[in-house]
Amino acid sequence: MSIMSELTHRDRVFDFLTPTASPVDVRHGPILYLEDVTVSFDGFRAINNLNLTIDDGELRCIIGPNGAGKTTMMDIITGKTRPDVGSVWFGSRHNLLTMNEPDIASLGIGRKFQKPTVFEALTVFENLELAMATDKRVLPTLTARLTGEAKARIDEVLTTIGLTDLRHREAGILSHGQKQWLEIGMLLMQKPRLLLVDEPVAGMTEQEMERTAELLTSLAGKQSVVVVEHDMGFVRSIARTVTVLHQGSVLAEGSMDDVSNDPKVIEVYLGEGA
Amino acid sequence: MKIKKQITAGLSALALSLTVSVSAPVAAADEGPIKVGILHSLSGTMAISESTLKDTMLMLIKEQNENGGLLGRKLEPVVVDPASNWPLFAEKARELLAKDKVDVIFGNWTSVSRKSVLPVVEELNGLLFYPVQYEGEESSENVFYTGAAPNQQAIPAVNYLMNQVGVKRWVLAGTDYVYPRTTNKILEAYLKDHGVADDDIMVNYTPFGHSNWQSIVSDIKTFGSQGKKTAVVSTINGDANVPFYRELANQGIKAEDIPVVAFSVGEQELSGIDTGPLVGHLAAWNYFMSVDTDANYDFIDKWVAYTGKEDAVTNDPMEAHYIGFNMWKEAVKKAGTTDVDAVKDAIIGVSVPNLTGGYATMMPNHHITKPVLIGEIQDNGQFSVVWQTPSTVAGDAWSDYLPGSKDLISDWRKPLHCGNYNVVTKSCGGKSEVAAE
Amino acid sequence: MSYSQSWLTRPFTERSTQIFLGVLFLAVMVVSVLHLVMPEGSALYVSSYTVTLLGKYLCYALLAVAVDLVWGYLGILSLGHGAFFALGGYAMGMYLMRQIGDRGVYGDPTLPDFMVFLNWDSLPWYWHGFDMAWFAFIMVLLAPGLLALVFGFLAFRSRVTGVYLSIITQALTFALMLAFFRNEMGFGGNNGLTDFKDILGFDLRTDAARLGLFIATGIALAVGYVICRAIVTSKLGRVSVACRDAEARTRFLGYRVERVQLFVFVVSAMLAGVAGALYVPQVGIINPSEFSPLFSIEIVVWVALGGRATLYGAVIGAIIVNYAKTVFTGIMPDAWLFALGALFVLVTVFLPKGIAGLLPGLKKKTDDESEAPTSGKEATA
Amino acid sequence: MSIIRSLKQLLIVCLLSLPVLGHAQANDEQAQSLLTQLADASYAQKGKIAGEIARSGDERARGWLEAFSAGKLAKVEDSGKFVIVLSNRGRNWTVQDALTGDDLGEISRRDLDTIRVNNSLRSEIDGILSVIDLTVNDADKRLEAARGLRGNVDEAMAKKLTELMASEEDADVKATLDEALAIYKVEEQGDIGAVKTLSGSLNSEARAALNSATYSDDPALKQAAQDALASIETKLKWNRAAETLYFGLSLGSVLVLAAIGLAITFGVMGVINMAHGELIMLGAYTTWGMQQMLPGQPGLALILSIPAGFLVSALAGVAIERSVIQFLKGRPLETLLATFGISLVLQQLVRTVISPLNRTVVTPDWMSGSIMVNEALSLTLNRLYIIGFALVVFVGLMLIMRKTRLGLEVRAVTQNRAMARSMGIKATKVDIMTFALGSGVAGLAGVALSQITNVGPNLGQNYIIDSFMVVVFGGVGNLWGTLVAGLSLGTINQLLEPWAGAVLAKILVLVFIILFIQKRPRGLFPQKGRAAEG
């Protein structure tokens, strides 16, 4: 059936040329609400009535020990996991719980996985090309041509992530760090309103870390960024507001200094060198 | 109907009078070996049945060569493997005729393989000897059917059960393909002609290699327990038989209560079954290994010697090949050449001894005369003949019991020269271009 | 690759496609010429038997290309492509049956012989229209296409993947095989459809018709190959590879994975159908055994042998295996299954990239050739 | 059936003359002439002569009759001597002089004329023997005989039976004889009282008698008969239901047996083992081989084949694992292709080495036949054994996976290979063991299947697809799933078969599986964690 519908919209084949600014409604400030979200995997409560709001253009860091539910939270936001109860809203118009991954993605929520996942069989260039925000329905994709401006955009991102020389190498051969960068690059190509970044600096050198920090901070403002990270140093270097997750719910929230002095947090992090 | 009967009667009389005794003068120039194509599956599901037929042919050819070959030329077997794959049958037939230029082909077992080869043989004007009992409803100028037509197996068997055993209720059980379908159709018509009520006939079809017979056998059991003598007419094919008979035995159906008469179970199939529980069940063929004639015993000795297996068995299709080969041989001698058209004309009316102590004659409809034997399974995997037709029966290409074909006859001699001549409309239907020749 | 071209012209710029089309064209030409010009009996003469045989190989090649499209680029191992092949074949077979007209043995003007002799009084509804070539040819695409659409829609929507998908495709073709074996279905049961007379007015038994079919098959293969090439070199092709390697990631990029899969799957099924349709008139019979799961698995092995995700590899594989089959079943029948079996094992264990992997020269070159200019452009862009 | 009638007369005479039987002295001339008559007579006459032989009071008579009905009484062509065939296999038969009982060694089949017998004769002779048996002391034998008499009673015999009944003390025999008489009375005399006796009897002869009674012109009898039949029908319905269930279970257990090995190799190891069917086949051929090695004691051979079959297939499994699968770690779809190749090779190997023909595997007596729950419902023994066997195998596997070190290690390796390794588990060893186990179980399935289906090169192919369906339907990597899936699919199939027919039933089951997988892509019992994924 889907194919049929595709065929009927021949007139719109080229509408990927028109920029896809997501129609997210942020007049009431926050771009992401999570309300009393709970999800449990056979008995074990990964998320336990979690409440979280991210403001438009905010850069938020989320920390927490293993199993605090950080990744699960991202799964819920991106539609990979459905919560048992609770509501998740993108802006004040879109109920994310009623949508699937592609819809959510095209709404403007980009995600970077904890374990960098790029398309290893494709070249760096192609990876970015696929990520580019365009009409992603089947036939338009089939007949898609690469326009000059699109190429320009890709080159721009290539330079940002510093992979210009490797553009035609298969992504499979990249180092761990480079894959991290490529994936971030793919996020940029998506032009998302909200970036969910899971452990972006794992396996990166000091310099790379700094550049990542710069990049993320520079993004904030235009886009909202949620960073999940273990590396406290890195968090401190970028964080304005920090949320501490513990056992699936918010343990503390505030500036880095506040939370790091919070006894509860210290207790949780005891021995984790916070 | 009547006209047809007369014609066929006339034909057979004429044919029998044509019996050859002297062999034609041997061709002077030696034109290299005579090539005999053997088209039997050596791999795949049909290898079970067909590989022995290949060996039979090799044995016959070897023997013929030891006796100085044919027309002073050696016979050279050309063996190919259609691998139980029907399109491959057509391809291999083409290979034999077009590439290897064989003078004659002996081969095929399943109906579908024959149907697939048929157009090729007709197009390239080859000779095919088909050794297996089949559903009839076919007569090709290029094919000689040395196996039984329905009237040479099914109908006599049913007669036996009806008259000698007094069966009143019938189960027609078969594998779901064309041979059982047609045979059962013919039998149904025949039984109804003989006053069997509809609800005294139970028809059942199962897929190839069906292995779970529990409910069907128990149905048969209930069907058989209605007070009238019941028999099963089985056209169940190959592999499905073992589980079927096992289930019969285990559900305690004895041959004395509900005899099963099978048309596709021969010595070879039995060699794969524990026959103890089957004693008394029947089969209808034109030959049994147990037939008490010297010709047969000699054949068995040769076969055992050739295969080197003391327990090697012979069966009906092997005899069919034996007859077919000898007929072709005689026809070639008679025609003095292996030229297809000459042989085609020469072979009609040729008579050769069969293994059951009689003669087989090639009829103008390319079917042969055969005795019909009913045998009961013995505990040693052999059949003991309990009844047989007083004389041989001529194969009938077109059944009298099917509306589509009751008015059709086949006669490949001039002037008629037609595979399906309609005696009512007086016209040669279907392959009109063939008749035009 | 030259990303900026239109998707349909793009394949022609690749070296590999150019070579492939060239070789194919040459082969077809040579065979036809030798068949027509050379006198029979001369060493160079190509008999109509050989022509038909080659025609059959080309059908298998097209089928293999179809399988490679879904397996190589989409990562969907279909063990049921034989079903689409056979459906196409049956559509063609039904047309050919209707062409027989009253030349069947029973001389019935409309009913095929097998129906007459199973006492069918009238043509079943789904046989209507097949007396018209155009209708039949549409059905050749539609029948497999629709099956693929429905099946794929269900399967991909509920994200059935990997082994599970392979197994249910196998179940699909197995079920169809059993169904077509039933005589009640009205497709001739085990005997299938056979004894064809002529196609589009040409007598199938003439060498001319044979040659025609052979050339037609060659063209079909060329077109099919180009279409597949066009798809895999398009952005959609790259998305397919993306789905193959990281399905979840592709979803998070906003692509509807299940639709991509469905689209490619249906295209592949239609190609298989065309292959079947060309196969039937050349071998002269279509029967349910084409649905057998074993056949479908064998197809996959052709592809594996030739080399996944290259398309031309699939063609090479199909031709080599089937040529070997022809030879072996001729000279040493018993050895055939040993050889085939050994082939399966050796290829999968020692030759994971298949034969195509052995000639990287071709593949590598194509990439450089096609990328050099574009990369240049991008640098200056 | 005039033959039967005449026989019946004979029966009575021979019954009356029973005391004579045995005491009479041997009289060879008479015997020779009788046998000669028997040999030359037409089928119609043979019965009569058989009767005379029985009556002749020759103590060898019984032996002759038995040999005759078994088709093992033969005449040597030249000498005209009568012999009893001891072994009738091959071209030369070992025989024994029918009169003197001396061993005559082997005689070529050519020189022997077996005295032909057919079904009706055979049943006549059984009749004769059974009537003789009616007077023996062994109650079971009498019961057998009485059972055989139902439907074969006639006027003269009826009298005799009534006498016998009077003297009969065994209740079952008495009841059966009573039934036999009642059947006779209903059929011949339309006796309503007898109808009462028959009502509720599930015996087919009884039902037949009642059926015929419903056609009588006497309304009372007609009514009575119909009522009786009705009551029987309701009984039958329940029996049929039970029967269908039993059929379902037995088919299911076959599926479970075939699939359970795959549940290990495929489910636990993620190897798509297309050669699984051939491993089953090997087990079946082992059974055949065993029976060849131990001729004459199929039962023992079968028992021994259980460990042997396991071993053979397990070793084959190890060979496959070492030679191919170990190189295909983490490439499940490739294992499919490779193992498919192996399956082809194994098949052809059996064809060339052993034979393309099916092999005979004998069913031991204790496994053939069926236990009669009642006249209408009897459970076939071989299937009963297989159900049991399937359950035993299943429980055994469960214990191995749950309770043994191996099971623990297997689960560890499949959950997380690297982790297991680092904890000192030899992953390779575990792989070998697991695959061997799975293959061995396949071998066991083969041993069982040899009792219900062909033992031939194609045995495996017939079960491979079903096996995969069962495993996938049940949920890969879950033994319980396999059990439930197998049994339920079997039952569904058997429930559908009566109205859908065998073929359609199978198709419907397949379609059902396809749709089910749409709903639950991971099967009935999805596996947690790293499920065997493509």
Both structure tokens of D110: 């050519």
Least confident of B41-55, B332-346, C7-21, D393-407: B41-55
Both structure tokens of B216: 């069907």
Among D93, D121, D149, the domain boundary falls at D121
Same domain, D144 and D85: no
Same domain, D22 and D76: yes
* Residue predicted with more confidence, C328 or C211: C211
B282 in Cβ contact with B373 (< 8 Å): no
Distance from the Cα of C139 to chain B's closest Cα (Å) equals 22
CB atoms within 10 A of CB C324: 15
Dist CA B131 CA B137 (whole Å) = 16
**Mean pLDDT to the nearest integer, C215-234:** 95
Same domain, D60 and D98: yes
Of B43, B86, B430, the CB nearest to C285: B86
pLDDT-based confidence at residue D2 (cuts at 50, 70, 90)? very low
B80 in Cβ contact with B95 (< 8 Å): yes
**Mean pLDDT to the nearest integer, C97-106:** 84
C12 in Cβ contact with C6 (< 8 Å): no
Q: What is the pLDDT of residues A224-268, one digit of tens each?
A: 889 988 788 888 888 788 888 888 888 888 888 888 888 888 887
Contact assignment for B80 to C330 by CB distance below 8 Å: yes
Q: Quote the DSSP letter at residue B98.
A: I
Dist CA D328 CA C304 (whole Å) = 14
Contacts of D223 by beta carbon, 8 Å cutoff, 6+ apart: none
Same domain, B129 and B173: no
Q: What is the DSSP string of D31-78?
A: HHHHHHHHHHS-HHHHHHHHHHHHHTT-TTHHHHHHHHHTT-EEEETT
Rounded alpha-carbon distances, angstroms, from residue B71 to B66, B105, C85: 13, 18, 49
Same domain, D194 and D162: yes
Least confident of B236-245, D38-47, D56-65: D56-65
Per the domain annotation, does D388 fall within a domain? no
Q: Is A191 left (phi over 0), alpha (psi -120 to 50) or beta?
A: left
Which chain D residue's Cα is nearest to B219? D498
pLDDT-based confidence at residue A210 (cuts at 50, 70, 90)? confident
Share of chain C above pLDDT 90, in %: 53
C181 in Cβ contact with B208 (< 8 Å): yes
Dist CA D374 CA D379 (whole Å) = 10
Structural domain for B247, as ranges: 154-262
Per the domain annotation, does B208 fall within a domain? yes
Per the domain annotation, does D400 fall within a domain? no
Same domain, B142 and B158: no
Per the domain annotation, does B350 fall within a domain? yes
Dist CA C182 CA C162 (whole Å) = 31
**Mean pLDDT to the nearest integer, A93-118:** 85
CB atoms within 10 A of CB B305: 11
Q: Is the pLDDT of residue C364 over 50?
A: no
Per the domain annotation, does B268 fall within a domain? no
Query: Three-state DSSP class for A91?
Result: coil
Per the domain annotation, does B225 fall within a domain? yes
- Please count the residues of chain A: 274
Contact assignment for A113 to C249 by CB distance below 8 Å: yes
Contacts of D276 by beta carbon, 8 Å cutoff, 6+ apart: D261, D262, D265, D266, D339, D438, D439, D442, D460, D464, D467
Q: Quote the DSSP letter at residue D87.
A: E
Supply the pLDDT for residue C368: 38
Helix (DSSP H) and strand (DSSP E) numbers for chain D? 21, 7
Q: Quote the DSSP letter at residue C39.
A: P
* Residue predicted with more confidence, B4 or A262: A262
* Residue predicted with more confidence, D49 or D374: D49
Among B312, B347, B370, the domain boundary falls at B370
Burial A111-137 (b: 16+ CB within 10 A, else e): bbbeebbbbebbbbbbbbbbbbbbbbb
Q: Return mean pLDDT, chain C.
A: 87
Supply the pLDDT for residue D26: 56
Same domain, B11 and B132: yes
Q: What is the pLDDT of residues B280-326, one digit of tens each?
A: 999 999 999 999 999 999 999 999 999 998 888 999 999 999 999 99
Among B317, B340, B370, the domain boundary falls at B370
**Mean pLDDT to the nearest integer, D287-311:** 93
Rounded alpha-carbon distances, angstroms, from residue D1 to D7, D100, D118: 10, 36, 15
Of C117, C192, C336, the CB nearest to B137: C117
Of B207, B252, B277, the CB nearest to D503: B207
pLDDT-based confidence at residue A124 (cuts at 50, 70, 90)? very high
**Does C239 lie at the interface with A, CB-CB under 8 angstroms?**
yes
Dist CA D484 CA D367 (whole Å) = 26
Q: Is the pLDDT of residue C377 over 90?
A: no
Same domain, B78 and B168: no
H or E stretch at B419: strand B418-422
Of A121, A129, A152, the CB nearest to C245: A121
Contact assignment for D370 to B271 by CB distance below 8 Å: no
Q: Is the pLDDT of residue C371 over 50?
A: no
Per the domain annotation, does B420 fall within a domain? no
- The sign of the torsion formed by the CA atoms of A28, A30, A31, A37 equals negative
Same domain, D315 and D432: yes
**Does B207 lie at the interface with C, CB-CB under 8 angstroms?**
yes
Q: What is the pLDDT of residues D498-529, one digit of tens each?
A: 888 888 898 999 999 999 988 888 888 876 54
Same domain, D139 and D206: yes
Dist CA C48 CA C40 (whole Å) = 10
Residue A103 φ/ψ, nearest 5 degrees: -55, -50
C143 in Cβ contact with C187 (< 8 Å): no
**To 5 degrees, how large is the angle CA C162–CA C165–CA C170?**
130
**β A59-63/A224-228 pair status:** parallel
pLDDT-based confidence at residue D269 (cuts at 50, 70, 90)? confident
The packing angle between helices D276-293 and D298-323, to 10°, is 140
Dist CA D515 CA C175 (whole Å) = 13
The contact set of A with C (CB < 8 A) is 1-3, 6, 78, 80, 100-102, 105-106, 110-111, 113, 117-122, 125-126, 129-131, 133, 136-138, 141-148, 151-152, 154-155, 167-168, 186, 190
Query: Number of residue pairs across B and D with CB atoms under 8 Å?
Result: 165
Among D184, D216, D248, the domain boundary falls at D216
Domains and CATH numbers, chain A: 30-269 (3.40.50.300)
* Residue predicted with more confidence, B325 or D406: B325
Residue A62 φ/ψ, nearest 5 degrees: -120, 125
Per the domain annotation, does D386 fall within a domain? no
Both structure tokens of D136: 């023996």
Same domain, B125 and B72: yes
Q: What is the DSSP string of C145-166?
A: HHHHHHHHHHHHHTT--HHHHH
D427 in Cβ contact with D441 (< 8 Å): no
Supply the pLDDT for residue D189: 76
Least confident of A27-31, A127-131, C98-102, D63-67: A27-31
Of C155, C344, C347, the CB nearest to D518: C155
Residue D130: closest CA among D262, D273, D15, D27: D15
Contacts of D25 by beta carbon, 8 Å cutoff, 6+ apart: none
Per the domain annotation, does B274 fall within a domain? no
Both structure tokens of C178: 């059993």
Number of domains in chain D: 3
Per the domain annotation, does D313 fall within a domain? yes
Number of domains in chain B: 2
Q: Is the pLDDT of residue B266 over 50?
A: yes
Same domain, B225 and B336: no
Same domain, B144 and B41: yes
Dist CA A8 CA A16 (whole Å) = 17
Per the domain annotation, does B196 fall within a domain? yes
**Mean pLDDT to the nearest integer, A167-185:** 88
Residue D526: closest CA among C246, C152, A37, C159: C159
Per the domain annotation, does D24 fall within a domain? yes
Distance from the Cα of B31 to chain C's closest Cα (Å) equals 17
Supply the pLDDT for residue B268: 87
Q: Do chains A and B touch by CB distance (3+ pairs < 8 Å)?
A: no
Dist CA C24 CA C218 (whole Å) = 7
Best of C111, C194, C206, C291 to substitute, by most chain B Cβ atoms within 10 angstroms, is C194
**One-letter amino acid for residue D62 of the chain:** R
Dist CA A206 CA A208 (whole Å) = 5
Dist CA C67 CA C346 (whole Å) = 21
Per the domain annotation, does D227 fall within a domain? no
Supply the pLDDT for residue B164: 87
Same domain, B117 and B190: no
ipTM metric: 0.84
Of B211, B304, B376, the CB nearest to D119: B376
Q: Is the pLDDT of residue B435 over 50?
A: no
Query: Three-state DSSP class for D186?
Result: helix
C190 in Cβ contact with C180 (< 8 Å): no
Same domain, B42 and B158: no
Dist CA D117 CA D172 (whole Å) = 33
Residue spans of the domains in chain C: they are 10-380
C67 in Cβ contact with C271 (< 8 Å): no
Q: Is the pLDDT of residue A22 over 80?
A: no
Q: Return mean pLDDT, chain D.
A: 83
User: Residue holding tokens 């209720």?
Assistant: B169
Same domain, B326 and B340: yes
**To 5 degrees, how large is the angle CA B327–CA B331–CA B332?**
120
**Mean pLDDT to the nearest integer, A37-55:** 85
**One-letter amino acid for residue C352 of the chain:** P
Q: What is the pLDDT of residues B111-152, one digit of tens each?
A: 889 989 999 999 999 999 999 999 888 889 999 999 999 999
* Residue predicted with more confidence, B284 or B176: B284
Share of chain D above pLDDT 70, in %: 92
Q: What is the pLDDT of residues D213-250, one digit of tens each?
A: 777 778 888 888 888 888 888 888 888 889 899 999 99
Dist CA C380 CA A57 (whole Å) = 34
Q: Is the bond preceding residue D307 a cis peptide, omega within 30 degrees?
A: no
Same domain, D145 and D276: no
Rounded alpha-carbon distances, angstroms, from residue A238 to A58, A214, A269, D212, D491: 12, 8, 20, 99, 64
Dist CA D465 CA D480 (whole Å) = 19
Contact assignment for D534 to C343 by CB distance below 8 Å: no
Structural domain for D52, as ranges: 2-121
Supply the pLDDT for residue B3: 52
Distance from the Cα of C370 to chain A's closest Cα (Å) equals 12
Supply the pLDDT for residue D509: 93
- Residue B252 sits in a domain whose CATH number is 3.40.50.2300
Same domain, D95 and D155: no
pLDDT-based confidence at residue A26 (cuts at 50, 70, 90)? low
Among B344, B370, B396, the domain boundary falls at B370
pLDDT-based confidence at residue D391 (cuts at 50, 70, 90)? very high
Distance from the Cα of D358 to chain B's closest Cα (Å) equals 5
Helix (DSSP H) and strand (DSSP E) numbers for chain B? 13, 19
Residue D266: closest CA among D442, D450, D493: D442
